Structure 1
Amino acid sequence: MGRKVIVTPHDPVWTEQYKTEAARLTSVFQPILVAIHHFGSTAIPGINAKPVIDILIVVKDITAVIHLIDPMAQQGYLSKGEKGISGRHYFRKGSDAHHTHHVHVYEENHPEIARHLNFRDYLRHHPEDAIVYSQLKEHLAQTHYSDPAAYTDSKSTFIRNIDLKARLWRQAQVEPS
Structure 2
Amino acid sequence: MLESKRLYIRQMNHSDFKEISKMLQNSEVMYAWEHAFSDEEVTEWIDRNIQRYNNDGYGYFIVIDKYIDDVVGQIGLIKQDIGLGIGYIVKKEHWNKGYATEGATICIDYAIRNLKVDTLVADIRPENIASINVAKRLGMKKISEYDKIYRGQAMKHDVYQLKVTGLTTKIVEIVDYNPNWKYEFEKLKSTLEKTLGNSILKIEHVGSTSVEGLSAKPRLDVDIIIEDYSYLNDVVSRLKKLGYRHLGNLEVEGREAFSYETTNFMEHNLYVCPKDGKGYLEHIKFRDYLRLNPDKVKEYSDLKKKLAKLYRYDVNSYCDNKTDFIRGIID
- Inter-partner Cα distance in structure 1 for 2:218 and 2:261: 12
Residue in 2 aligned with 1:23? Answer: 190
Distance between the aligned counterparts of 1:149 and 1:63, measured in 2?
A: 32
Q: Which residue of 2 aligns with 1:91?
A: 258
Distance 1:45 1:153 in 2: 24
Does 2:312 match 1:145?
yes
Q: Say whether 1:41 aligns with 2:170.
A: no
Runs of 4+ in 1 over 4 A off after TM superposition: none
- With the length of structure 1 as denominator, give the TM-score of the two structures: 0.83
Rounded to whole Å, the distance in 1 between the matches of 2:224 and 2:235 is 13
User: 2:215 is matched by which residue type in structure 1?
Assistant: N
Choose from 160, 163, 171 the match for 2:327: 160
Query: Which one has a larger percent helix, Structure 1 or Structure 2?
Result: 1
Q: CA deviation at 1:105?
A: 1.0
Contact 1:77-1:91 within 8 A present in 2 as well: yes
Q: Secondary structure at the match of 1:30?
A: helix
**Paired residue for 1:107?**
274
Amino acid at match of 1:32: S
SS of aligned partner of 1:11: coil
Question: In terms of Rg, which structure is larger?
Answer: 2
User: Are the counterparts in 1 of residues 174 and 216 from structure 2 also a CA contact under 8 Å?
Assistant: yes
1:131 aligns with 2:311: no
d(CA) in 2 for partners of 1:85, 1:152: 14
Query: Residues of 2 paired with 1:120 and 1:21: CA distance?
Result: 19
| In 2: Cα distance, 1:81 partner to 1:107 partner | 14
Q: Which of 176, 179, 185 is the matching residue for 1:9?
A: 176
Q: CA deviation at 1:43?
A: 0.4
Kept in 1, the 8 Å contact 2:254–2:279? The answer is: no
Which structure is higher in strand share? 2
Question: How far 1:156 sits from its partner (Å)?
Answer: 0.2
Query: 1:80 aligned to 234, 247, 253, which one?
Result: 247
RMSD of aligned residue pairs (Cα, Å):
1.8
Deviation at 1:94, TM superposition (A): 5.3
Identical-residue share of aligned pairs (%): 29
- Cα deviation digits, residues 66-101 of structure 1 (max 9, x gap): 333343234242321111123421113457xxx811
**Residue 319 of structure 2: SS of its match in structure 1?**
helix
Comparing 85-94 and 75-84, the one that deviates more:
85-94
User: For residue 232 of structure 2, what is the amino acid of its counterpart?
Assistant: V
TM-score by length of 2: 0.46
User: Is residue 39–residue 116 contact of structure 1 (8 Å, CA) maintained in 2?
Assistant: yes
